[in-house]
Structure 1
């Protein structure tokens, strides 16, 4: 028996969740149940796995288990960028090997297209807009990153526009940045609204249980998952719970639960919108990965997202929220001095499952146990496509994308504790310090 020693515990401050359309959470599981397929984790990956399994096996019941409420966890806490382009931070031009970059592009575009089709089919109200994204810099280091990425995009044959300092305010209002790169392929979303909508339009042979954290697992010819009110027996188990997959006994010591933090303002008044200027809906990421991400939302709020913490158990910590909201305030005031009276309505944290070699896992973990884990910060698109393709593979399909994922070496092993925490925390601290005014 494997005891699940840490369960998801996110804070209650996520603006995306509270501002998204209300839904009735599905009941938690109680008693005993047997099912051909059980999927753990109802984020973008798990929803995609369950949906596609239901298509391939219409006579099977697919059980989908979520420890919290759908939309409350990681998938509803990101900045809402469904990114199309590869971004290999280990490569000089951020593209790296051209063949790998083209496959990554194809994976991301496939994920986007899957989501677009579902949003259109079910009319999910999640502000799904093909708005593109800005990548902006103020420090010399950041501008060098933009120049390198531009060379990489040329190599990949992808379009972009260079926006010089004088023209940036017409796009995003702020005069803060010296240069920006606009790429048109990113889709912006309200992430909690999207994941809630996906959960409410699952095929009829998918049974979703929310607020059902698994506490123990017995592996064998069948897999028995225990929770506080009963147990679920699976002929085949699929893990789609990212870093919490380690708590189920797999890929231990490979994934890093890194939390990042966001704050969302109150809606801007008409006068404040005029003072800000720029477009009415946009997203901006920093040239420096430790810098600040910004969004202007459909309801005229501004999102500020920066700062990182390493929470090895994958659970939220109030002390980081208290600390980083002050950093959000300082970042906001540097960028938007014309809006001195705009307060934050929400502040929250959300985890990323990262690996040191930027690889995820896709395939079989053990007899009757499979997984699509570790999206490395691309959960919206990469989670959707890997979840879909994992179900395709389990149904006997093979194609270029599935073969590419199966051939991945997977996330590599981390150093043991306490060296891991010392090293990760030192890197996070140094990265945020070096980001300078990009933060």
Structure 2
């Protein structure tokens, strides 16, 4: 029996969660049960896997277990970009190997379609908008990054539009950025609202249990999962819990739980909206990976996301939240001097699961144990499609996309501790300093 040492412990002030439609969470599991399939983690990946398993195995009960409340954890803490394009931050042009990039584009566009269809079919109130994204630069070095990105987009045959400062201001209101590369294919969503809605729209043969943390696991011909009030016996286990997969004994020394931080303002009043100008909603990604991501939401809040920390235990500290908040205030004041009286209402941290070689995991981890893990910052699309295709693979499918994921390089090994933490934290600190005005 293996004890699970690290459990999700996200901070309470997640703005996306608190401003999304309220729902009644499913009760925690009480007692014991058995199931053919058990999925751990009710984020983008786990919800997609459970949904598709239920469709492919309509006569079986699918058990979906979430340690916290749906929409409160990592899935509800990203910036809500559903990106179609490859976004390989390890490549100078964000595109990298063109063959892999074309497959990635196809994969992520299919994920967008799955998300769009689900929203429309079940009338999920998550502000889905075909808004595109603005990749913005402040300084010459950032503009050079965008020029490299342009060359990558041309290799991939994808549309883009250059926006200079004055024209860009008409789109986003602020005069802060010098130049932007606009790509039209990105969708924007309220991420917590989406996963809440997806959870309430699961097929009838999915049993969702929230606030049910798995505290032990015993692997054998059947898998026994312990929780606070009993155990679950599974024929097959699907891990959709990203960095926490290491606590279950898999991909140890290969995953990097890196936290990013965001702050959300109160809603802008009509005068403040007029002072800002521009479109009523938009999303900005920085030219520098360590710069600030921004959103203007449908309910007229502004979100600033920057700062990173390496937290191997899967939890951010109060000190890290305080430091991030101070950085957010500085970044906000530089960009929105016309809104100096608008204050932040929420500040939160959320974990990304990264690997050093920017590769995810998809496939079999052990006998009767499977996973779609390590989305490298693209959880909305890679997670959705990974969960969906994993279910199809377990049902016997072997299509082109499944073959692509199974044949992809896996997350590489990390250096041993304490060198890993020292190296990652040093590089994060250096990257944030070098981001300059992009931060």
**TM-score (normalizing by structure 2):** 0.99
- Counterparts of 2:120 and 2:373, CA distance in 1: 27
Partner in structure 2 of residue 360 of structure 1 = 360
Partner in structure 1 of residue 148 of structure 2 = 148
| Pairing 1:235-250 to 2, within 5 Å after superposition | 235-250=235-250
Partner in structure 1 of residue 110 of structure 2 = 110
**1:39 correspondence with 2:39:** yes
Report the alpha carbon displacement of residue 96 of structure 1 after superposing the two structures with TM: 1.7
SS state of the match for residue 406, structure 1?
A: helix
Report the alpha carbon displacement of residue 409 of structure 1 after superposing the two structures with TM: 2.2
Q: Which runs of 4+ in 1 moved over 3 A?
A: none
Encode CA deviations 1:211-250: one digit per residue, 9 max, x unaligned.
Answer: 0000100000000000111000000000000000000000
- Counterparts of 1:281 and 1:40, CA distance in 2: 34
Partner in structure 2 of residue 139 of structure 1 = 139
Encode CA deviations 1:29-57: one digit per residue, 9 max, x unaligned.
Answer: 11110101000000000000000000000
Report the alpha carbon displacement of residue 316 of structure 1 after superposing the two structures with TM: 2.6
SS state of the match for residue 320, structure 1?
A: helix
Encode CA deviations 1:79-106: one digit per residue, 9 max, x unaligned.
Answer: 0100100022222322122111000001
Partner in structure 1 of residue 119 of structure 2 = 119
| Pairing 1:243-392 to 2, within 5 Å after superposition | 243-392=243-392
- Counterparts of 1:208 and 1:316, CA distance in 2: 27
SS state of the match for residue 11, structure 1?
A: coil
- Counterparts of 1:381 and 1:185, CA distance in 2: 13
Report the alpha carbon displacement of residue 318 of structure 1 after superposing the two structures with TM: 1.3
- Counterparts of 2:219 and 2:338, CA distance in 1: 59
Partner in structure 2 of residue 60 of structure 1 = 60
Structure 1 unmatched ranges of 5 or more: none
SS state of the match for residue 346, structure 2?
A: strand
Report the alpha carbon displacement of residue 166 of structure 1 after superposing the two structures with TM: 1.8
Partner in structure 2 of residue 429 of structure 1 = 429
SS state of the match for residue 337, structure 2?
A: coil
- Counterparts of 2:364 and 2:289, CA distance in 1: 32
* Paired residues, number: 439
Report the alpha carbon displacement of residue 373 of structure 1 after superposing the two structures with TM: 0.4
- Counterparts of 2:275 and 2:391, CA distance in 1: 49
- Counterparts of 2:141 and 2:81, CA distance in 1: 24
- Counterparts of 1:304 and 1:90, CA distance in 2: 23
Encode CA deviations 1:301-360: one digit per residue, 9 max, x unaligned.
Answer: 101010001111111311111111011000000001111100001110000000000011
Report the alpha carbon displacement of residue 165 of structure 1 after superposing the two structures with TM: 1.4
Partner in structure 1 of residue 23 of structure 2 = 23
Encode CA deviations 1:355-407: one digit per residue, 9 max, x unaligned.
Answer: 00001110000001000000000000110001000000000001111001001
Partner in structure 1 of residue 185 of structure 2 = 185
Encode CA deviations 1:403-426: one digit per residue, 9 max, x unaligned.
Answer: 010012211110111000000000
**1:407 correspondence with 2:407:** yes
- Counterparts of 1:97 and 1:364, CA distance in 2: 25
